[in-house]
Amino acid sequence: MNRERRKQLVSDYRERKVARGIFAVRCHASGEVWLGIGRSLDNMQNGIWFTLRLGTHPARTLQAAWNTHGEENFVYEVVEEVDAKDMTPYMLQSVLKERLQHWQAAWGAEAIRT
């Protein structure tokens, strides 16, 4: 790969839009829902599924449901994207926390840390 092409790829990577917001993990078998804040919604499922497969996810209720019902009964979905444009990191974190609380109350879901 030539040097100019590499520079362009690095530049494109740095300038990409990262989707931030609220995600849900649903268990179809039990009807349970877990919500979380995603700083990169496109990559969240991989990390969550990885820890669940290892049996090391910090949300005990989610891990227990996964162990009981199996991976085939779980889905990952984006609930809401937050436009972080023109927000400071503090503002973004505040908005994400507020939106998580909103969805928790609306769905009666448990919040998880990622």
Q: Give the homologous superfamily in CATH for domain 18-111.
A: GIY-YIG endonuclease (3.40.1440.10)
Distance, in Å, from the CA atom of 37 to the CA atom of 3, rounded to the nearest integer, reads 37
Q: Count Cβ atoms below 10 Å from residue 5 Cβ, excluding itself.
A: 9
Q: Count Cβ atoms below 10 Å from residue 81 Cβ, excluding itself.
A: 14
Distance, in Å, from the CA atom of 5 to the CA atom of 40, rounded to the nearest integer, reads 26
Distance, in Å, from the CA atom of 36 to the CA atom of 104, rounded to the nearest integer, reads 9
Q: Could you tell me the pLDDT band of residue 4, with boundaries at 50, 70 and 90?
A: confident
Residue 1 has pLDDT above 80, yes or no: no
Could you tell me the pTM of the whole model?
A: 0.84
pLDDT for 42-77, tens place per residue?
A: 999 999 999 999 999 999 999 999 999 999 999 999
User: What are the domain boundaries of the chain?
Assistant: 18-111
